[in-house]
Amino acid sequence: MSIGLFYEKVGDSDEAMKYLHEALKINQDIGYKLGEVDALNSLGSLYEAKGEDAEAEEVFNKSLALARAIGNQESEGNALAHIGVLYEQRKNYAEALSYYHQALALAQKIGQKEHEGARYLNIGNVHLQKEEFPTALSFFQKALAVAKQLQAFDLTYQALGGIAGVHEKQNLFDDALNHYNQAIDLIESVRGRLQIESYKSTFLERKISIYEEAIALLHRQGKFEEAFAYLQRRRARSLVETLTEARADIRRGVDSLLLARENELQQRLNAKAQYRMQLLGRQHTDEQAAAANKEIEDLLRQYQEALAQIRSASPNYAALTQPQPLSVQEIQQQVLDDETILLEYALGEKRSFLWAVTPATLHSFALPKRAEIDSAARRVYDLLTARNRGLPNETEERKERRFTQSDHELAEATATLSQILLGPVAKLLGNKRLLIVSDGALQYIPFAQLSVNSNQSSVNGGSANEGEKPLHTDYWKLNTDYRPLAIDHEIVHLPSASVLAVLRRELAGRHSAAKTVAILADPVFTNIDPRVKNKMAQSAATDSTAMAEALALENSLVRSVRDLGIMDSANDLPRLLFSRREAEGIMKLLPVGEGRKAVDFAANRTAVINADLSRYRIVHFATHGLLNNKHPELSGIVLSLVDEQGNSQDGFLRLHEIYNLNLPADLIVLSACQTALGKEIRGEGLVGLTRGFMYAGAARVVASLWSVQDKATAELMKRFYAKMLGQEKLRPAAALRAAQIEMWKTKPWQSPYYWAAFVLQGEWQ
């Protein structure tokens, strides 16, 4: 059962379900009734989380009957409460209240005060939905009293939020906002005491609804500036803090034993991750995989705890004050200029919002709820990346026909999404630079390929009218009305406006490196690569079993994520032949001695960790990226996996190692697959490679949102670097825009699939 609970914890519900069913059967076979009840409750929770309500109800009813049969009142209460939740979701409030009251009576009978408080919350929420406000308020106040008695944080903020919700429904807005403020202040007070970074970054994730309700209340009252301030309080807080910490040299003055412990854990973590990669590349059992995952989970926890101890012991860290998010006025003064407008999106369960901020104005607009916007964004992303999904035995003719159909569907989907996101602000944009702070599935969309039609929208804005015809019908003919946003706007993506302010403070007075570009490209991934000198290794690798294992090892590296249900997992790790041409093209633009090119076996992990890349203003990685959504700390860059003799070596530069690099580059270019992605944490954004390189000192990062064809990437990068390093000497953001426009105007690269994947995050100046 512990294996099933482990998989549940890391988010692999299918594996969790399998092991919990096995645990259930084992407990039934040996007649251990309490273990059977526990397994049933865990299974029911999984079904509930997956939205399979009928299955969940059946399992919880079995658990309830068994718990009553063996006289276990705690398990009985849990089952009753879960069944109540299912009825509440169906809006069968009478049945929900019946089960909640039964669970409450049991909690009171056996003295489970925290469960008693939780049932008060459940009952209060039902009465709130029934608009029985005095009764709802009474139960929320009872929950708050229990919470204060127990000093139970979760119960306290939820009870305060419930009271605020009642007051809001009664149009007692000041009272509602007062209780929202108390809840949020409590949340941030507890968060501020956390030392383990992964806990900090995920802490707000399940508490975002409190912020969302406060923002919606203020927006409803027309208090747009105050609503915007609440949004800043919940957005990318962890990243702002870690960027501030990164420049503080928190290891200086810390006990050497603590630093040695950190280093030891990092080495053990690398070794265990390497072992897991090799294990998954050969025949193995589910138990072996689960054990390896559990060991990595434990090592990650120990590593985070070691970092927390370093922070606690660091004189430099103690001197840091917790950075506060910027106000509207500070963003207008410190971040924006007359040629720049900030578009910040916040997706909510009931409604979403868009703020447009200029140096002198702030506009706010209500948008559709998160589910509608996420669905539209996923549709666009799915169609954008259709070329990455081949069909069995598909001919070139059929493939081209499928792409053509997909392109027409993409045009319509893009028009719909563009109208939702940009329609309200179309008349405000002019030709200004756009700073995009997105949210949810919007973080996977390149705004450069969206479009705006100012004739069909107004400043008052809103989503597209029902039945409205698509704005555009054909992407690729330049005489149509499709006009990518990149044509008129330089576009920069940001996790939050406060992040840019922190970057600017740290960049002030920093001298640029002496040399121009360091490039790592075309690594060697397997000993069957023709560049391997050891012919015996190549010969052995041609054996079918050895070759299968080598290929499986490659596959284990790129079992990439399915972020938000809109990502495809990669199936192989091929050589990137055009990355070599990419590197050579960049080097031709440089004076002698201004660049460094590491290709083949030289494009290895040691070259990054040990070499002094800080001497270069631009560091360019042209290789594969691995995104691990369950454990973003294990994401990274894949470099040479074998040496010249064909011997395996650790060629994976992991995210926690990237954090420890000294890389104060003006620009990091991740010319690899899906490097702009990562684990999406509500309120925090994407935790992935971009964040790691910013922590390491990068002022800006160019990365990709999907796996782009190798040749197309080389073509885009050639144009991008020509704009930066050639006669025009454009800034990176402007150079990327110019390169994308050229690609759009050039056959065969006109599809957004080829030119829109790469985005710039960070400083645009």
Whether 549 has a pLDDT exceeding 50, the answer reads no
From 229, 178, 186, 222, select the one nearest 207 (Cα to Cα).
186
pLDDT of residue 93: 94
Identify whether 409 is part of a domain: yes
Q: For residue 683, give both structure tokens.
A: 């309120």
From 350-354, 428-432, 576-580, the region with the lowest mean pLDDT: 576-580
Whether 246 has a pLDDT exceeding 70, the answer reads no
The pLDDT confidence band at residue 357, using thresholds 50, 70 and 90, is very high
pLDDT of residue 323: 56
Give the DSSP per-residue string, 372-407: HHHHHHHHHHHHHTGGG---TT--HHHHHHHHHHHH
The pLDDT confidence band at residue 33, using thresholds 50, 70 and 90, is confident
Residues 333 and 313 in one domain: no
pLDDT of residue 560: 33
Return d(Cα 745, Cα 449) in angstroms, integer: 13
344 with 437: CB under 8 angstroms?
yes
pLDDT of residue 721: 94
Beta-strand ranges (E) seen in 691-731 are 700-704
Question: In the beta sheet, which residues pair with residue 687?
Answer: 679
Whether 739 has a pLDDT exceeding 90, the answer reads yes
The string over 117-150, giving b where at least 16 C-beta atoms fall within 10 Å of a residue's C-beta and e elsewhere, is: bbbbbbbbbbbbeeebbeebbbbbbbbbebbeee
Residue ranges in 51-172 assigned as alpha helix (H): 53-70, 73-89, 93-110, 113-129, 133-150, 153-169
Whether 490 has a pLDDT exceeding 90, the answer reads yes
The pLDDT confidence band at residue 399, using thresholds 50, 70 and 90, is low
Q: What mean pLDDT do residues 75-81 have? A: 89
Instruction: Give the range with max mean pLDDT: 73-77, 192-196, 416-420, 608-612.
Output: 416-420
626 with 560: CB under 8 angstroms?
yes
Residues 447 and 315 in one domain: no
Residues 618 and 515 in one domain: yes
From 629, 705, 715, select the one nearest 670 (Cα to Cα).
705
Q: Checking phi first, is residue 167 left (phi over 0); if not, alpha (psi -120 to 50) or beta? A: alpha
Domain enclosing residue 275, as ranges: 256-319
Return d(Cα 172, Cα 162) in angstroms, integer: 14
The residues near 375 (Cβ < 8 Å, ≥ 6 apart) are: none
Which residue type, as a one-letter code, is found at position 189? S
Q: Interior CA angle at 360 toward 359 and 366, to 5°?
A: 95
The string over 357-392, giving b where at least 16 C-beta atoms fall within 10 Å of a residue's C-beta and e elsewhere, is: bbeeebbbbbbbebeebbebbbbbbbbbbbbeeeee
Q: Checking phi first, is residue 13 left (phi over 0); if not, alpha (psi -120 to 50) or beta? A: alpha
Whether 361 has a pLDDT exceeding 80, the answer reads yes
pLDDT of residue 579: 85
Q: For residue 542, give both structure tokens.
A: 């041609």
Q: Which tens digit of pLDDT belongs to each residue from 498-537?
A: 878 777 877 777 788 889 999 999 999 888 888 888 655 5
Residues 367 and 398 in one domain: yes
Q: Which tens digit of pLDDT belongs to each residue from 685-733?
A: 455 688 788 878 888 899 888 877 778 888 899 999 999 998 899 999 9
Identify whether 340 is part of a domain: yes
Give the DSSP per-residue string, 442-473: GGGS-GGG-B--GGG--SS--SPPTTPPPS-S
pLDDT of residue 408: 78
192 or 138: which leads in pLDDT: 138
Residues 552 and 684 in one domain: yes
Identify whether 530 is part of a domain: yes
Whether 424 has a pLDDT exceeding 90, the answer reads yes
40 with 24: CB under 8 angstroms?
yes
pLDDT of residue 562: 30
Long-range contact set of residues 174-183: C-beta below 8 Å, sequence gap at least 24 = 176/217, 177/214, 177/217, 177/218, 180/210, 180/213, 180/214, 180/217, 181/214, 183/156, 183/157, 183/158, 183/210
From 224, 434, 451, 419, select the one nearest 342 (Cα to Cα).
434
* SS3 (DSSP) at 260: helix
Residue 19 phi, psi dihedral angles, 5° rounding:
-70, -35
Identify whether 251 is part of a domain: no
Structural domain count of the chain: 4
pLDDT of residue 695: 78
Whether 477 has a pLDDT exceeding 90, the answer reads no
The pLDDT confidence band at residue 13, using thresholds 50, 70 and 90, is low
Q: What is the CATH number of the domain that holds 82?
A: 1.25.40.10
Question: In the beta sheet, which residues pair with residue 642?
Answer: 648
- Report strand pairing: 433-437 vs 340-346: parallel
Residues 315 and 339 in one domain: no
Whether 236 has a pLDDT exceeding 60, the answer reads no
What is the dihedral sign for C-alpha 542, 544, 546, 552? positive
pLDDT of residue 266: 76
Q: Among 657, 679, 708, give the residue marking a domain's end.
A: 708
Return d(Cα 358, Cα 349) in angstroms, integer: 27
Which residue type, as a one-letter code, is found at position 192? G
Which residue type, as a one-letter code, is found at position 282? R
From 160-164, 468-472, 513-517, the region with the lowest mean pLDDT: 468-472
pLDDT of residue 545: 40
Q: What is the pTM of this model?
A: 0.76
Q: What mean pLDDT do residues 605-614 have? A: 83
Whether 586 has a pLDDT exceeding 80, the answer reads yes
The pLDDT confidence band at residue 190, using thresholds 50, 70 and 90, is confident
Q: What mean pLDDT do residues 323-351 have? A: 88
pLDDT of residue 411: 85
Residues 694 and 622 in one domain: yes
The percent of residues in the chain predicted with pLDDT above 90, rounded, is 28
The pLDDT confidence band at residue 551, using thresholds 50, 70 and 90, is very low
Match 């995009």 to its residue by tokens: 436
Mean pLDDT taken over the chain: 78
Q: Which tens digit of pLDDT belongs to each residue from 122-148?
A: 999 999 999 999 999 999 999 999 998
Q: What mean pLDDT do residues 157-178 have? A: 92
Identify whether 750 is part of a domain: no
* SS3 (DSSP) at 612: coil
Whether 462 has a pLDDT exceeding 80, the answer reads no
Q: Interior CA angle at 283 toward 280 and 288, to 5°?
A: 60
Residues 676 and 615 in one domain: yes
Residues 288 and 385 in one domain: no
Q: For residue 532, give both structure tokens.
A: 């391997």
Residues 63 and 181 in one domain: yes
pLDDT of residue 390: 61
Residues 568 and 645 in one domain: yes
| HEC-encoded secondary structure of 167-218 | HHHCCCHHHHHHHHHHHHHHHHHHHHCCCCHHHHHHHCHHHHHHHHHHHHHH
378 with 565: CB under 8 angstroms?
yes
pLDDT of residue 480: 53
The pLDDT confidence band at residue 556, using thresholds 50, 70 and 90, is very low
326 or 454: which leads in pLDDT: 326
658 with 614: CB under 8 angstroms?
no
Identify whether 572 is part of a domain: yes
From 471, 385, 480, select the one nearest 421 (Cα to Cα).
471
Identify whether 721 is part of a domain: no
Identify whether 312 is part of a domain: yes
Q: Interior CA angle at 102 toward 101 and 104, to 5°?
A: 60
Q: Among 265, 288, 319, give the residue marking a domain's end.
A: 319
Q: Interior CA angle at 340 toward 459 and 374, to 5°?
A: 60
- Residue 440 is given by DSSP the state G
Whether 559 has a pLDDT exceeding 50, the answer reads no
pLDDT of residue 687: 53
Question: In the beta sheet, which residues pair with residue 636?
Answer: 626, 654
Residue 475 phi, psi dihedral angles, 5° rounding:
-65, -35
Q: For residue 317, give both structure tokens.
A: 């860290």
Return d(Cα 259, Cα 257) in angstroms, integer: 5
Residue 696 burial (10 A CB sphere; 0-12, 13-18, 19+) = buried
Match 């007051």 to its residue by tokens: 167
Residues 354 and 478 in one domain: yes
Q: Which tens digit of pLDDT belongs to each residue from 643-677?
A: 888 888 888 888 778 877 888 889 999 886 655 45
